[in-house]
Structure 1
Amino acid sequence: MCTVMLRREPGGRWPLLLAAVRDEFADRAWDPPAPHWPDDAPGLVGGRDRLAGGTWLAVRGGGTPAVAAVLNGSFMNRLDRSEPGAPSAVRPSRGRLPLRALLSGVPGDDELREYEVVHLVVADADGAQLISWDGREVTRLEIPDGDHIVTNEGLDVADDPLVPHFGPLLATAAGPAEAGLAVAGGGSGAGTTTASWWGDWTDLMRGDGLAGDDPRALLVRHEIPDGRVFASTSATLLALGREPGQLRMDFTATPSSPDWRAVTL
């Protein structure tokens, strides 16, 4: 599974705070966040999946800062698919969706039905939306103000053990103390370490000491019978403001032993 935790506070200095963990097979090659798509998606920054060429999370710094992130739909929903559609091998990669959403807007229902089951989070300082395709229908939810957790099961699904465990931890995590612009804007956040800027949020992203195979785990690790490892392979912290360049993005490729770095946007 993957996880996105977010805080919407329209009247705050940072109207959107977001923390995301990517879970994937450990042997699937990828590149850290950068402007990997200068021709197809100019101005967007994100990690790149080398196999399919897309991303799990993309950020737009120019104009109105925004973020889009994709999560696979739950396995149970995939089993319950009522529409046969195309085989998964010929469906487009879900990694296209964050780029598509930030470049030309959220895709329509018919376009989403071309993909495997999926959740797409799209957010900026003025709002956040969760668009989900579960194999039967497309739903679109406006994410309210406050703290929320999106997993492969959807938005704030209490039946997912992660949500009731990390919901209270997210609620008590103080926002960044730094009031200036972040790295992209060249303001007073530039050069500030991740831990000192994000404070409680870096503690939150350590996973509360849970084992990787715990059903509540934020940072997962599972050894598959075929010998492969499925694990949390990266994590992102993102703060979005209202003005162009008013954002900060921090990234680690080792979530279980985080070595955070600020991403230049």
Structure 2
Amino acid sequence: MSIEPSAAVPVLLLSVRDEYAGRRWSPPGHHWPAQPSAVGGLDLVAGGTWLAVEPGDGAGPGGSKGSGPVAACLLNGFGTSAPEAARLSRGELPLLAVRGGRVDTLDLDRYDPFHLVVVRPDGARVLSWGGGADGRLVELDLPNGLSVVLNDGPEGLAENRTASERIRALMAARAHHFRARFEAEPRPLPLPDGRDTERAWGDWLPLAAGDGLPLDASAALVQRREFGDGRIWGSSSVSLLALGPAGVRYDFAPAPVGPGGEDWRRVEL
């Protein structure tokens, strides 16, 4: 996440979806008749999404006019799982957020731990839930500059974090490598215009595709991990979003991403 209030496009978001292999999904589109203006990838198992975008074309909450764009990105968290008999899908949370709903009014005990990043042209806020009878919803506004949100929360500092040293080390290596790489390249200006993905995102695009690292590298952004017992965890897609006064731009690619930029497509909003 990059936040630069003085830039023509103040907020840039890179989102990598990591999931167990075999969980079926569809690319971003208008998948929800009850929210016809919302766009996002569809989880075919539970019907929700990991990232939703509301373009703000005048179809805001309650029929409000002139609402700006908003996006919401979901990460699984660590902590206490919800009771199986009462559990609700976390994939409904991004859709709730982009239509102006309040997460803090939900019965959060019915959701497994999560981090929900809510993004607008003026900044981003992370809502974190760790579950459990004594759990509380923690809200944090991300600062200006580059921020990294992991399954261990913003900068890996959530109240509830993984107990696995291996997973913690992999997340730390990923964050360290890519923070330095993004800081070293010029910040792009991906306006919601007719330019293709490569011209819009410039030197950041190869980084978003994985920076040439092998899928099993410790610092891999686009990754594939085998955790034993036939469990394979990896990246299924990469999304790039830019939010500003002129609107929102959304570019998407399935993972792993080809080196020539041929896998990227502009998502129609």
Same fold (TM over 0.5): yes
| Separation in structure 1 between the aligned mates of residue 82 and residue 44 of structure 2, nearest angstrom | 26
- Alpha-carbon distance, 1:240 to partner: 0.7
Residue 102 (structure 1) aligned to one of 53, 77, 98: 98
AA partner of residue 254 (structure 1): A
- Alpha-carbon distance, 1:228 to partner: 4.4
| Separation in structure 1 between the aligned mates of residue 55 and residue 100 of structure 2, nearest angstrom | 15
| Separation in structure 2 between the aligned mates of residue 85 and residue 60 of structure 1, nearest angstrom | 29
> Which deviations, in whole Å up to 9, do the C-alpha atoms of 1:236-255 show, x marking residues without a partner?
01111124xx2211000133
Match of 2:161 in 1: none
AA partner of residue 100 (structure 1): L
AA partner of residue 156 (structure 1): E
1:65 maps to 2:60: no
Distance 1:47 1:210, change over 3 A: same
Matches within 5 A, 1:24-173: 24-39=19-34, 41-62=35-56, 63-73=67-77, 77-78=78-79, 81=80, 85-87=82-84, 90-108=86-104, 111-135=107-131, 136-157=135-156, 160-173=172-185
Secondary structure of 1:161's aligned partner: helix
AA partner of residue 86 (structure 1): P
Match of 1:232 in 2: 235
Contact 1:27/1:228, CA 8 A, preserved across alignment? no
1:260 maps to 2:264: yes
Contact 1:109/1:138, CA 8 A, preserved across alignment? no
Distance 1:163 1:254, change over 3 A: closer
- Alpha-carbon distance, 1:175 to partner: 2.5
Contact 1:212/1:221, CA 8 A, preserved across alignment? yes
- Alpha-carbon distance, 1:165 to partner: 1.7
Runs of 5+ consecutive residues of structure 1 not aligned to the other structure: 1-5, 183-188
AA partner of residue 233 (structure 1): S
AA partner of residue 69 (structure 2): P
| Separation in structure 2 between the aligned mates of residue 111 and residue 210 of structure 1, nearest angstrom | 41
Once structures 1 and 2 are overlaid, which stretch shifts more, 51-60 or 202-211?
Answer: 202-211
Contact 2:86/2:110, CA 8 A, preserved across alignment? no
Contact 1:113/1:133, CA 8 A, preserved across alignment? no
Residue 12 (structure 2) aligned to one of 3, 9, 17: 17
Residue 219 (structure 2) aligned to one of 209, 216, 220: 216
Contact 2:209/2:238, CA 8 A, preserved across alignment? no
AA partner of residue 83 (structure 2): A
AA partner of residue 127 (structure 1): G
How many residue pairs match? The answer is: 240
AA partner of residue 91 (structure 2): G
Report the TM-score, using the length of structure 2 for normalisation: 0.82
Match of 2:64 in 1: none
AA partner of residue 218 (structure 1): L
Report the TM-score, using the length of structure 1 for normalisation: 0.84
Distance 1:228 1:173, change over 3 A: same
| Separation in structure 2 between the aligned mates of residue 208 and residue 108 of structure 1, nearest angstrom | 37
- Alpha-carbon distance, 1:233 to partner: 0.4
- Alpha-carbon distance, 1:38 to partner: 2.1
| Separation in structure 2 between the aligned mates of residue 111 and residue 218 of structure 1, nearest angstrom | 33
- Alpha-carbon distance, 1:200 to partner: 1.6
CA RMSD of aligned residues (A): 2.0
Distance 1:85 1:250, change over 3 A: closer
Secondary structure of 1:165's aligned partner: helix
1:250 maps to 2:251: yes
| Separation in structure 1 between the aligned mates of residue 15 and residue 70 of structure 2, nearest angstrom | 14
AA partner of residue 141 (structure 1): L
- Alpha-carbon distance, 1:212 to partner: 2.3
Contact 1:32/1:47, CA 8 A, preserved across alignment? yes
Structure 1 residue runs of 4 or more that deviate by more than 6 Å after TM superposition: none
Once structures 1 and 2 are overlaid, which stretch shifts more, 91-100 or 129-138?
Answer: 129-138
AA partner of residue 12 (structure 1): A
Contact 1:56/1:98, CA 8 A, preserved across alignment? yes
